[in-house]
Amino acid sequence: MNNFRSKYRNRYYLANVTPFGTIQLHQRNPLIIALWSVAFPGFGHFLIHKFFTGFALFFWEFYINQLTHLNTAIMYSFNGNITEAKAVLNEKYIYLYIPVYLFAIWDSYRTAVDENKLYLLAKREHAHYPNFSVSPFEMNYLDKKKPWIALVWAMTVPSLGQLYIHRIISAILTLLMTMLIVIYSNMIESLHYFLLGNLSKAKEVIGAQWFLYFPSIYFFGMYDSYANAVELTKLFDLEQTEYLKRNYQSPNFVLHKGEKM
């Protein structure tokens, strides 16, 4: 794929099977991508396979959020406690938040639109792409993945669904964030008291600033693994279709009539 002079070099490729995951172009609704960026900057970029951009935006939002106590302010605002919300926000950094947040939404939308065009070009070009990758780090291959299995694993501990479909990079991020949230928000402890019926204690131990990260991480893990499991399965079918058409449709093959035995 990296030999630019070869006559076998194509212009656009539909997919690439790498040790860290299968990267593929597929059609996406740009609005959905933008909405995931609204949920958490970086998520939209992960979905369109721009992992480094996604990481930069994700950790930037995470850092500013921690500095300014934005999640705590959101919690107070939704409860109508405006004075507390004003008091807790750090005015030194909060203005930094707005432009980068809007950039993440705009940029993921724009890129999703572009990638949809590239998808059409790549699909029309029928270029060969690897269906298999062996390396010292990982083994990866195209295969059918069951979306429901990915979803159920993602619902247990975030990142397992992504590991099932071999999306290592977003699995690492999801696992890391889940662990940080579990450590600093005491959410498992809170769940424990909740299950025991001790609601006041459950409310007391949980920390809003950290726990408010959890819903977006949790549901993103589910969406990422489910949606990509569907697309990987479609990619497998498509790749196999093209392979069979290339190799097993000889013009010399003659079909014979005959009664069924």
Q: Looking at 114, 138, 143, 204, which residue binds other proteins (CB under 8 A)?
A: 143
- Of residues 6 and 250, the one with the C-beta less far from other proteins: 250
- The DSSP bridge partners found for residue 15 are 24
- Of residues 5 and 256, the one with the C-beta less far from other proteins: 256
Tell me if 232 sits within 8 A of 145, measured CB to CB.
yes
Tell me if 43 sits within 8 A of 28, measured CB to CB.
no
Nearest to 51 by CA among 184, 163, 154, 169: 169
Q: Looking at 117, 124, 144, 203, which residue binds other proteins (CB under 8 A)?
A: 144
Cβ 115 to other proteins shortest distance, Å:
22
Start-to-end CA distance of the chain, whole Å, equals 48
| Options 11-19, 115-123, 197-205, 248-256: segment touching other proteins (CB under 8 A) | 248-256
Q: Looking at 3, 83, 200, 250, which residue binds other proteins (CB under 8 A)?
A: 250
- Of residues 130 and 207, the one with the C-beta less far from other proteins: 130
Is residue 124 a contact point for other proteins (CB under 8 A)? no
Q: How far apart are CA 36 and CA 28, in angstroms?
A: 12
Radius of gyration of the chain (CA): 23
- Of residues 80 and 251, the one with the C-beta less far from other proteins: 251
Q: Considering only residues 180-239, where is the footprint of other proteins by CB under 8 A? A: 236-237
Is residue 8 a contact point for other proteins (CB under 8 A)? no
Tell me if 121 sits within 8 A of 62, measured CB to CB.
no
Residue 133: what are its φ and ψ, rounded to 5°?
A: -145, 125
Q: Find where tokens 């093209």 sit.
A: 242
Is residue 244 a contact point for other proteins (CB under 8 A)? yes
Q: How far apart are CA 199 and CA 196, in angstroms?
A: 8
Nearest to 166 by CA among 136, 139, 134: 139
Cβ 256 to other proteins shortest distance, Å:
4
Cβ 197 to other proteins shortest distance, Å:
40
Residues that bind other proteins (CB under 8 A): 143-144, 236-237, 240-241, 243-245, 247-250, 253-261
